[in-house]
A and B are shown apart, each in its own frame.
Chain A
Amino acid sequence: MSEHVRYIDRTREYYLSQGYKKPYEWAHFEDIPFTALTKPLSESRVTIVSTSDVAIKPTEGKKAEHHLVGNAYSIPTDTPLAQLYSKQEHYDKYATHLDDVNSYFPVTRLQEKVEQGRLQSIAPRCHGVYTAYSQKKTIEVDAPEILRRCREDEVDIAVLTPV
């Protein structure tokens, strides 16, 4: 396996070459929180949080309700897979595609883990966060909103999938 891509270095060089003067400052923290599991996975309820811009297709011309607060929104977990898609444009379009929702928003695969008994249940809502340009807003608005919805749904564990 070859070395992984250093995106921070690569994008800095790329955007300098595109004429941008100020490199993006990626979030960096020394302290990392830790919460241990309080019960077995087989008794746990899971949700997904993703920046894949996954969305529900409009049906019969009617736009789906995503309950947007800040950049945070939700997708009912029982939405048929065929109605989900991604509007995300920040991915490697030269190498791959976003035609398979489960390659970035693993809702069917998690459902299978529930059926196998590895997990107890999947929460009634999964969540998305649109990529913000403000780390401050992500911390002050989006993250607390996702936490609020997770608590409301009695979520025990979260799987996060950045794209």
Chain B
Amino acid sequence: MSLVARHLEANGIPTVVIATARDIVETCGVTRLVFVDFPLGNPCGVPFDQDMQSNVLDIALDLLETAEKPGTTLAAPFIWPAGDDWKNTIFTEEQPFLEGEAYDNWMAAKKRYKENKT
């Protein structure tokens, strides 16, 4: 996703990325990032919390107006309502990231990619 943001930005379209995986996006390098410290899946706010989602977008739009240099990150001031325990358990052996059908789909997608590699 960051690669697409960079391409749009390099071709004259200002971008703002709203993401939960801060290190991955910053390592790639994007112009403007709103970092939302939530589990993978809900970068734009807690599900069904419309006020928060609206606030996240306001932060993103503000950043479009105010960022003066590339690589600007703004951390949104929101806390995941159920607490931060998910941070300790994501990508651990106790909680396999992909299991069963999801794992099979991922392996199938990888295989397709390898077959189509040009």
Contact = CB atoms under 8 A, between A and B. Distances in A.
State whether these chains interact.
yes
A163 B3 contact: no
A111 to B, nearest CB: 11
Contacts of B58: 118
Given A29-B6, A100-B48, A104-B41, A133 B110 contact: yes
Interface residues of B, number: 76
Nearest to A50: B1
Determine the main DSSP class of A at the interface with B: loop
Determine the main DSSP class of B at the interface with A: mixed
Interface residues of A, number: 76
A98 B64 CA distance: 27
Contacts of B8: 49, 143, 146-147, 150, 158
A140 to B, nearest CB: 10
Contacts of B95: 94
For the complex of A and B, list the 3 residue pairs with the smallest distance between their C-beta atoms, beginning with the closest. Answer: A91-B41, A143-B7, A162-B1
Interface in A92-118: 92-100, 102-106, 109-110, 112-113, 118
Interface of A: 1-11, 13-14, 17, 26-37, 41, 49-51, 88-100, 102-106, 109-110, 112-113, 118-119, 129, 132-135, 138-139, 142-144, 146-147, 150, 155-163
Contacts of A110: 57
Nearest to B85: A95
Most chain-A Cβ atoms within 10 A of its Cβ — which of B3, B30, B38, B45?
B3
